[in-house]
Amino acid sequence: MFQKATKTQSKLRLALSGPSGSGKTYSALAIAQHLGKTIALLDTEHGSASKYADRFDFDVCNLDDFHPSNYIKLIKAASSAEYDVIIIDSLSHAWFWELDQTSKAANSFMAWGNVRPLERALVDAMLGSPSHVIATMRTKTEWVIEENAKGKAAPRKIGTAPIQASNIEYEFDLAGELDLNHILTISKSRCPDLSNTTHHHPSKELADRLINWLTDGSPAPESAQSKCDRVKAAREEAGVDTESVRILIKNQFGRTSPKQLTSEQCDQIIELISQR
């Protein structure tokens, strides 16, 4: 039934897009270092993020197979390891994989029918993570002719639409575009104070504003993943098998999974497991 809406604390979901050279990876790391102490970066760019290891403290996992399930596996691994921030650099490579798979199929309509659920599962993994998530995306590049400081016509490279599934930006709290001057323009924001703002070399100032917005509200309920992880850790420590825990949950609360329990009920199950 309906109940009064309340603002709860949440984790960041930020999309950064831009052309090559706009500073997507650097900006993601610069923002992330002020959101939390531990950063996990999923690198699809042939190890390029590690070139910033002298400037930022982060852990990296290089990915060269861009099947969405591999993204999901790493996001879940980083979430389970309780990293404060997860950077996906870049999300566009999952889209490249989808395009490649559908282009090879004899029936593209049926192929997209098989690919879309994978795409949705990847989005759900990002949204369901208990960590802050920053995803970078490449943009299509175009050249425009503009008048330079000397009054002469000169070409300038600009980024247009993200190379990603249509309307992917709607899945994020904030989406912004970086240009070659490293200026981030927030084009979509659920934080009213940041709508249509610009940030040169985005870093601490933007991160602080994001933290103020994200932490304003009542404490967020524990995620389903967190409850599952806590029960699993207790089960493994006590040497109890999965089926025994399932039966215990069923007998105690009439449920079949920790996901269906409240945090308090999870605490009770963990206590019962520890007594075995």
The domains found in the chain, sorted by start residue, are 13-214 (3.40.50.300), 224-274 (no CATH)
Q: Please give the pLDDT value at position 194.
A: 96
Residue 45's CB: how many other CB atoms inside 10 A? 18
Mean pLDDT by 10 residues, the chain (276 residues): 89 94 96 98 94 98 91 93 95 72 62 72 90 91 65 59 66 93 94 95 97 92 85 92 94 93 93 90
Locate 103 and state its tokens: 């282009």
Q: Please give the pLDDT value at position 131.
A: 95
Half-sphere exposure of 261 (CA within 13 A, CB side): 28
Rounded to an integer, what distance in angstroms lies between the CA atom of residue 202 and that of residue 210?
A: 12
Residue length of the chain: 276
Q: Please give the pLDDT value at position 125.
A: 92
Residue 133's CB: how many other CB atoms inside 10 A? 25
